[in-house]
Amino acid sequence: MQEVATVATGPEPQRTEGPPRRSKAENRIRALFNQENIATMVVALIIGIAVILPLIALFINSFLVLDDSGWDTEWGFDNYLLMVTDRIIPKAFVNTILISSGSTVLATFLGVSLAWINARTNCPGRDFLEPYNLIPFFLSPFVGAIAWHNLAAPKTGLLNNWAQDYLGFETHILNVDNLWGVIWVTGIFFAPLVYLFVVGSLRRMDPSLEDSARTTGAGLFKTTMTVTLPLVMPGILSGAIIVFVTSAGEFGVPFKLSAPYGWETLTTQIFSKAVGDDANHYLGAAMSMALGIITVVLIWIQQRYIAPRSFTTVTGKGFRPNVLDLGSWKWVAFGYNVLYILVAVVLPILSLLVVSLHPVWEATIQPAQMSFINYEKTLFFWREDSIQAATNGIFNSLILALVGATLSMVLAIVVSYMIHRTKGPMTRLIDFLCVVPIGFPGIVLAMGVLVTYIQTPIYATLWILLLGYVTRFFPYGQRNVSSIMLAISEELDQSSRMSGASWFTTLKRITIPLLKPGIFAGWVLLFIIFLRELSISIILYTTGTETLSVGVYYLSNFENEPLTAALSMAQTIVLLAAIFLFRRVAGKEALTA
């Protein structure tokens, strides 16, 4: 630079073009209020209100105690006290812990073993089986509970009847109408969560990590115990914690299988105490606080201590992972995997189909009686005898899923962009706000939303449901977008800015087109989640704003099994179609979020 200055001896260079001169203060203000910063602040504010307000309201309301008249409230700890002294709530608390622990053990065992079989053994048909292992992840556990009730209820279960008719058993052999049933259904439905956390690190692990243990003198078993297992342990623990938290917040399964038979859980208690004729929102808020504290602490541990410990075991070299030759045991592994798909996907769907075709279900298959009357009653909204809760649910859920997924993804894109591409003052706050909703079960967040907005006009409309959905689930979309955004070089954006495009033009022309596959995958994922959503909807719905799952709940509770099965089946078919679409769009690898 200096050399140039001494060489250029001509007249003072004239500034013909360039930025206009401004004062320092003006520059500073302009810097603060550029497009980018304004957008960041606005988004931080919106997310802040959406996420934090319900939690604050929940906290405050949990200290409001309803007096005997049921009209006035005063401050106090009575709600919390009641959780210890109540006849049912302490038991519900214990049951929640039992169910979560049990389903965590089952899901972890299933998830890890299936992931290992698929990633590391020569089990036949692995490529074919893998997508089916993941299907339960997308289906509704509530519908799974309904299906398993049809299969293995003590008196009316199909499997029980067959066992008595064909195998000569005296009484029923299976009974899912208890805590074990809840553990069974949540366990098999949440196994893919663990699977997804483990399979990637198993599959992409540098094989020389294990090879070097072998060459150093460790046998296969010793290598597995001292190298392979410790390396995937963070993934296993993360998966296990997520399963525990998800099970603790699961409403549909215990509501269907255990609550009617005397085993209440925190979620079913929140529902029955906070919603209904003698509703006590304040007690519901206190119970939600208790559940939320458990889950948020666990998620915090996972995010803070376990996720960062995951080992980078991937190398650039494109080696295939070590595949273990199981010999003839490979057919045992194959059978095991097929059995999982059978109990988690095939049997439940078949049972729904069978039951839904009978006008009256008497626990035996009667081909002569079969008709589509149940589908007509639940789906054909123009019929006079159609059931409103069901037909409303279809419309409402489709609207909520379409609008909610779109809105969530818009938010997800903007938020991801802010976290990864800007260094505004609000960036870290936004990053934090995106993790918070993941820490709370849907039913807890829904209680917060309920107590916050119950006296506003949005209560009893679809808007409050939309607000609950987006607040709780947009972080999922945000993770989807963020992971891709991290993989795309920031220089691509910067080149656009350098070429003179504004921040918004860059977002529109460069960033979003590059993110398109991730955005669409995230959209379909949220569409699926919203279409089957129950635990938020059950708290926030009113007559007229039922959702699909609420419709199923209504039919299950107030109508009969065949009608329930028909609507469940309809929901399952839409979900399966969405899963198919998701796989087409996102491919195999997009599921690791």
H/E segment holding residue 65:
strand 64-66
Positions 222 through 251 that interact with another protein (CB under 8 A): 222, 226-227, 230-231, 233
Q: Smallest distance from the beta carbon of 107 to another protein, in angstroms?
A: 24
CA distance 126 to 588: 13
| Residue placing its CB nearer to another protein in the complex, 131 or 207 | 207
User: Do 82 and 62 touch, CB atoms closer than 8 A?
Assistant: no
| Residue placing its CB nearer to another protein in the complex, 6 or 312 | 312
Q: How many chain residues bind another protein (CB under 8 A)?
A: 24
| Residue placing its CB nearer to another protein in the complex, 81 or 220 | 220
Question: What does the DSSP assignment read for 72-133?
Answer: -EEESSHHHHHHHHSSSHHHHHHHHHHHHHHHHHHHHHHHHHHHHHHHHB--TTHHHHHHHH
Q: Smallest distance from the beta carbon of 118 to another protein, in angstroms?
A: 22
Q: Smallest distance from the beta carbon of 310 to another protein, in angstroms?
A: 10
| Residue placing its CB nearer to another protein in the complex, 227 or 390 | 227
Q: What is the DSSP letter of 321?
A: P
Q: Smallest distance from the beta carbon of 120 to another protein, in angstroms?
A: 15
User: 66 by DSSP, 3-state: which?
Assistant: strand
Can you read off the two tokens belonging to residue 254? 């215990």
Q: Write each residue from 189 to 218 as x if it is in contact with another protein (CB under 8 A), else as -, in one continuous string.
A: -----------------x-xx-xxxxxxxx
| Residue placing its CB nearer to another protein in the complex, 207 or 517 | 207
Q: Smallest distance from the beta carbon of 208 to another protein, in angstroms?
A: 4
User: Do 578 and 524 touch, CB atoms closer than 8 A?
Assistant: yes
User: Do 135 and 578 touch, CB atoms closer than 8 A?
Assistant: no
Contact residue for another protein among 219, 262, 425, 544 (CB under 8 A): 219
Spatial CB neighbours of 2, under 8 Å, sequence gap ≥ 6? none
User: Do 212 and 258 touch, CB atoms closer than 8 A?
Assistant: no
Closest of 574, 566, 568, 551 to residue 374, by C-alpha = 566
Can you read off the two tokens belonging to residue 469? 């959905």
Q: Smallest distance from the beta carbon of 210 to another protein, in angstroms?
A: 8
**The three-state (H, E, C) secondary structure of 228-294, written as one string:** HHHHHHHHHHHHHHHHHHHHHHCCHHHHHHCHHHCCCCHHHHHHHHHCCCCCCHHHHHHHHHHHHHH
Q: Smallest distance from the beta carbon of 112 to another protein, in angstroms?
A: 17
124 touching another protein, by CB under 8 A: no
Positions 304 through 363 that interact with another protein (CB under 8 A): 311-313, 315, 317
Q: Smallest distance from the beta carbon of 211 to another protein, in angstroms?
A: 6
| Residue placing its CB nearer to another protein in the complex, 317 or 584 | 317
Positions 274 through 313 that interact with another protein (CB under 8 A): 311-313
| Residue placing its CB nearer to another protein in the complex, 211 or 431 | 211
Q: Name beta bridge partners: 64.
A: 75
Q: Smallest distance from the beta carbon of 317 to another protein, in angstroms?
A: 6
| Residue placing its CB nearer to another protein in the complex, 168 or 318 | 318
| Residue placing its CB nearer to another protein in the complex, 201 or 568 | 201
Give residues in contact with another protein (CB under 8 A): 206, 208-209, 211-220, 222, 226-227, 230-231, 233, 311-313, 315, 317
